Amino acid sequence: MPEGDTVRRIADGLQLLVGERLVAESPHPRGASTGIAALVDGRVLESVEARGKSLLLRFEGSVTVRSHLRLSGRWRIEPRGAARSGRPWLILRGAEWEAVQWNGPVLTLGEAPAARLGPDLLADDADLDAIARRVRMAADGRPVGEVLVDQHVVAGVGNMWLAELLWQARLSPWLPVSAIDDVELLRGLAWARQAMRVAVNGSRPLRAVYRRAGRPCPRCSAPVRSGGLGDANRTAYWCERCQPG
């Protein structure tokens, strides 16, 4: 699933179309059924914003399109008229460039779902101390690995960044938030914010534990483990020796 840094990179690419009056079409029937292409066709794209894993495209006339990629969706920025096979959900065509959205799965109108998100870890004004306090207040007995991927608590962290930030901070995904001190929690959040910001402009760091179950931990050589976490049964990755608890 694309995480906050991927969505921020898409938003940066879409800035090419901001200020243009766009031609919109939906070749795929599921995209067409949303009615979004018909609504935004001929409107000026006024701004594009990434908020956590949501992408918000604001058009003239107070029309906002929200895109969430979940597991299958993707955006491509291509020269106008580029050859392609298949049927995208949405094409936004400018004078020289066009944005192409494939595989949905979420294209909706309005910002209400994004307004309910927690603070974006990648936001320029992100306050890590405030985010750490929010994590503690929202924990309600849940383990830290479950709280940090709750997008209503902090937006943008998915399974990959969760695994890596907890490894960096030497915290088990199953530790109760109440068992973690402020220094440990802030260390993980600060590392994730910095690494995600670097990833927006370049590439992600080499993975220490994510999708490396059974392979040696790069810090202590113990085998990396994996297991289902929380009600959503997300797959967590961790080193039992480096991340006790």
Give the contacts of 156 (CB within 8 A, at least 6 positions apart): 3, 4, 5, 7, 52, 53, 120, 121, 122, 196
The pLDDT confidence band at residue 232, using thresholds 50, 70 and 90, is: confident
Per-residue pLDDT tens digits for 136-145 = 999 999 999 9
Q: What is the percent of the chain with per-residue pLDDT over 90, rounded to a whole number? A: 95
Q: Quick check: is 212 catalytic?
A: no
Q: Quick check: is 146 catalytic?
A: no
pLDDT at residue 1 is higher than 80: no
pLDDT at residue 230 is higher than 90: no
Average pLDDT over residues 175-185: 95
d(CA 75, CA 9): 10
**Residue from 93, 142, 212, 234 carrying the catalytic annotation:** 234
Residue 144 three-state SS: helix
Helices (H), 15-127: 29-32, 36-40, 112-115
Q: Quick check: is 3 catalytic?
A: yes
**Residue from 8, 51, 53, 212 carrying the catalytic annotation:** 53
pLDDT at residue 231 is higher than 90: no
Total-model pTM: 0.93
pLDDT at residue 216 is higher than 80: yes
Per-residue pLDDT tens digits for 3-27 = 999 999 999 999 999 999 999 999 9
pLDDT at residue 245 is higher than 90: no
Rounded to 5 degrees, φ, ψ at 189 are: -65, -40
pLDDT reported for residue 203? 84
Q: Quick check: is 234 catalytic?
A: yes
The secondary element (H helix, E strand) that includes residue 14 is helix 4-14
pLDDT reported for residue 104? 95
pLDDT reported for residue 81? 92
Nearest to 16 by CA among 84, 93, 83: 93
Give the contacts of 57 (CB within 8 A, at least 6 positions apart): 14, 40, 45, 47, 48, 64, 65, 66, 67, 92
Per-residue pLDDT tens digits for 59-74 = 999 999 999 999 899 9
CB burial readout 131-151, b (16+ within 10 A) else e: bbebbeeebeebbbbbbbbbb
d(CA 38, CA 90): 10
